Amino acid sequence: MDATDTQIKKALVAFAIEKALIDMGDPVFEKVAKTLKNDHNCYIPDCYEHPEYLKRVLSDLYGNAHITIINSIKESLREFSQQESINRFISVLE
């Protein structure tokens, strides 16, 4: 079975999010993943379709410090930002 374009982009975004969170420390990753599940019934890969959930959780948990995590995600996705769906994801996070 071949991966669709959407599946590939979803995986790419999930990887960028996970990398940014793990770089901040395993407890950050665990806390964000748990809060996404509890508050929005979604997982990290679902943030591709719902970046507003991620933005809200990061802002609620880390206040202004969430900007550092968002910048890390944006940096990981920079070379793909010309693609409309990736650009939309980044725009919602900002």
Q: Where are the domains of the chain?
A: 5-93
pLDDT in tens, 52-61: 999 999 999 9
For residue 83, what is the DSSP state? S
Q: What is the pLDDT of residue 3?
A: 72
Q: What is the pLDDT of residue 25?
A: 87
Q: What is the pLDDT of residue 5?
A: 87
Q: What is the pLDDT of residue 1?
A: 47
Length of the chain (residues)? 94
Quote the tokens at residue 1.
């079975």
Token pair 């995986």 is found at 11
**Does the structural domain 5-93 have CATH classification 1.10.1200.200?**
yes
Separation CA 15–CA 80 (nearest Å):
13
Backbone angles phi, psi at 25, to 5 degrees: 130, 145
- The pTM (predicted TM-score) of the whole model is 0.91
> What sign for the dihedral angle of Cα 20, 22, 26, 32?
positive
Instruction: Flag residues of the chain having pLDDT under 70.
Output: 1-2
